Structure 1
Amino acid sequence: MAKHFKESNSCKPLKKILFIRLQAIGDSIITYPYIREFTDRNPSFEVHFLTRSSASDIPKFLKFFTRVWVLQGKRRPIHRLPYVSLLLPLLLWQRFDVVCDLQNNRESRLIRRLLFPKKYSAFDVYSPIPAGERVYNAINELGLNFSKPNFRPYVLNKPPIYEFDKDTLKVVINPAGFYSSRNWPYKYYVEWATAFLQHSKKKVQFVLIGIDRVEKFANSFSLQFPEHTVNLVNKTSLSEAFVLIQRIDFMLSEDSGLMHMAWVSGVKTLAIFGSTRSDWSGPLGPHSILLDSSDMECGNCMLPTCKFGDNRCLTRYTPQIVLEKTFQLLNT
C-alpha cells in the first residue's frame, strides 16, 4: 500500500522519485509505459530507475529517465548484498522524496526502507492479475498525477543498426519461449508464414531477432524463406533490439522479453502461451491478442515440459487459427 504524508505549506514540494525493478528483462520492460506516463504527467520530477545489470541496457537509452542506477551481482539476491551495501550510500545522497517499489522482495524492501522516503508504494506480488495492471496500481497508490498509459513507440538515444524497407510489412517472428512447454512447433511457423505470404496484400519482410536459443530456428527459417527474411539473431544488444522493435508492424511471439518489447511499444502483437501463467504475463491493450492455455484443466501449469508429452495447449492453435488472428489484428 502507498504511504502518504500530509504536507504543510512549509514543506518543500516532492521532486525526486525512484522506481525499483530488479527482476528479469521482460518484467523490467513491462514497467516502461507506466513510468513514462507518470513522467509525462509530472514533468517537474526527477525520475530515477534502479534495476539489475542484466536489464540495464535499455533504460539507460530512454529519454524519460533522469538517471538509471545499476545493481551489479549475480541472479540470486543473497549474492548481490555486497553491491547493495556499496550502492546504498549513493542512493541516500540523492534524498529521494518518493520510492515506488515495483519489485517488493526482501532486497527492494530493504533498499526502500533505508532511503526513508516521504511517500512510497509497493508492487502487489501475488494477485492473479496482469503485471502491467499491478504496476499501474502501485504507481497510482502514490496519489500523484497519474493515468493509464498510452502504448506508443519509444524514442531512444540510439540509432538503428538496420534500416528496413519502408514499403514492406515488417513482421518479427519470435520462437523464444524458454521451455519446450512454451514452444509452438517449427512446422506450424512455416505453414503460417507460407499462408501469410500468400494472403498478404503487401510485400512481407520477416525479421528474426534474438540470441543462441533461437539461432537454429532462425537459420532454418531463413533457408525456407530466403527472399523474405532478415536474420539478425546474435547481432543486436538489448537496446538495439528495442530500437528495431519501434520500426516493425507486427509480432508473432511466444512468451519472452522480445514479446514484451513489442506490446509496450504499441506494436500489434499476437502472443502464443503454453505453460506460462497468462494471468500474470499476458500482453495488454487492444493492439494485442493472447492465445493461451487458461481454459484447459492442465493450463497455466508452469511446467518446463508437458506432462502429456505433446504440448497440446499449443498444438491446438493451428496455423490457420493463428493466421486468422494475425489478419484480425492487422486489419484493426
Structure 2
Amino acid sequence: MKPEKILYVDDEAIALKYFERLVGPLAPVLTAISVEEGRAVLGTHGSEIAVLVCDQRMPGERGNELLRHARQHYPHIVRMLTTAYSELGEAIDAINTGEIYRYIAKPWELESLRADLRNALELATLRHERDELMRDRMVAQQGQLVAARLGSLLVACAGVSETAYERALFRFARAAQAVGSREAAIDWNQWDHADLQQAEAQRSVAIAAQLRRWLQRWGAFTGEGPAQDVLAQALGGEHRPDGVLLRQTKGLTELLSAPAGQVVTAEDCLWLAWQLWTEGRFSVAGSAGAWRVAPAAADPLPVDWLADAMERLRG
C-alpha cells in the first residue's frame, strides 16, 4: 500500500485545525496533540503515512523526539519540523543529525507551506517506489539463494557418498517442498554479492564436513527398521509400524532456509545425512496433522528433478 497521508503533531488545537484546512486538498491529514499521541498514531497508521510534520515546542517531550522515533521505526516517512524563528537552532540541529528532511518556519506562509509539503509527498513517493524495487530484488535474491543452496548440496553429497547421493537429495528436496521451506533471510545491510557468495561457499564446505561425520558415526546401513529408530530418536519422532511420525519439521528444511551467515550445526545436517545413509529410501508425507517418514518405492528419478525442485522451492 502506498503511503499518502500527512500526520501533523502540535499541542495547539487551533493550529491543528488550521493546518488540516490548509493542507487537506493536498492529502488526507491525521493529527495528534502530543508526542505521545503522535507515537500512538504512528503505531496504528504508520504504513499509511507519507509525511510527518511536528511542532518543536510542546509540553513534555519535544517534537524532535517524535521525529527521532519515526526515523528509527518508520524510515519511509519524510520528517519535517515546524518551529518559530527563535528556535531555529534546534531545527538546524535536527537537520544535522538526520532527524528531518527540512523545517518549516512559523508563522506559516501558505504557498510556501504547500510547496514544501508537495515536495515532501513527491519524495515519499520516490522512497516508496525505491523500497518496492528493493523488495522485489530481495525476493528474487532469496529465491536464487535457495536454488543455489540446493545445487551446492548436490555437490556436497557427491563428495561424501558414492552411492545414491542424487536420490538422497531428491528425497530431501521433496520433503522440503512437502512441509514448506521458508525463505532464507538475507540482511542486505550486512551482505554484498561477493561476501554472500563467499559465505555460502564456506557454508557448503562446513555442510560436507558435518555430513561426513554423521556417516562415520552411523557406520554401515543395517536396515530400514534400525534406521527409523535412529531418525525417531534424533528428531524427536515416534517410530510406528508404518514409519516415523514427526511433529516438528524445522530439521527437514534448515539447510535451505537458514539465514545467510548462520553457522551450520550438526543438527542442521542430520536429516540430509540420514537420507544419504539410507540411500534415499524414505519419503515424507502429511499424516493427521503431522508428517510421516516411510519407505518409498525406488522409482527412476525424473530427468529434470533438480531444476524442478529449484523452481518450486524458490516460490
TM > 0.5: no
Higher helix share: 2
Q: Which protein is bigger by CA-based radius of gyration?
A: 2
Q: Larger relative CO (CA 8 A, sep 6+): 1 or 2?
A: 1
TM-score range, shorter chain: under 0.3
Question: What TM-score does the superposition give when structure 1 sets the normalisation length?
Answer: 0.25
